[in-house]
Amino acid sequence: MIKELNLKDRDIVKQILCIQVPAYQVEAELIEFDGIPQLKDTIETIQQSGETFYGLFEDHALMGFVAVENLDDTLNICRLVVDPAHFRKGAATKLLTFILSKAKKPVTVSTGSKNIPAITLYKKHKFRICSEVEVAPGVFITQMFNPFP
């Protein structure tokens, strides 16, 4: 089941962080860069993010989430996070499919250029690579776009 998460509930935000930090540590290893901003998030920074979070639950336990930001011309996926204990079980696909089904305008997302599993997932869902941006010396982010939600 996927449902919107209440960021005013500190316990929910703690659950988000308990999944987010280990998941982004895996990405940090993949892209060989530990400066990912989400590794430094706190309850307060999540609550003040302005993002809308949707969680995927299995047996009442949060196993992953997606956070989006509604911009003028696009819907931006800010985070697509799965508990590492649930990698390769289809959770990311369920969350991405959910967001794409709700989108009424093109969708954007960025991920580490060396994060091949994420790029493969997005390409499978008709995302196209727009550009690569160097965010630190030798560290690149791939920006992707899905014009057909």
CATH number, domain at 119? 3.40.630.30
Render pLDDT for 11-66 as a digit per residue (tens, 0 to 9): 999 999 999 999 999 999 989 899 998 999 999 999 999 999 999 999 999 999 99
- pLDDT score at 148: 78
Q: What is the mean pLDDT of the chain?
A: 95
**Please, how many CA atoms are within 13 Å of residue 139, restricted to the half-sphere of its CB?**
16
* pLDDT over 90 (residue 79): yes
Q: Residue 75 and residue 145: Cα distance in Å, rounded?
A: 10
Contact call for residues 5 and 16 (beta carbons, < 8 A): yes
Domain that residue 90 falls in? 2-146
* pLDDT at site 4: 98
Q: Reply yes or no on whether the pLDDT at 116 is more than 90.
A: yes
Residue 106 near residue 145 (C-beta atoms within 8 A) = yes
Total number of domains constituting the chain: 1
Place of tokens 């091949």: 116
pLDDT at 8 exceeding the cut of 80: yes
Q: How much of the chain exceeds pLDDT 70, in percent?
A: 99
Q: What are the two backbone dihedrals, phi and then psi, of residue 120, each rounded to the nearest 5 degrees?
A: -60, -45
- Tell me, what's the pLDDT at 149? 63
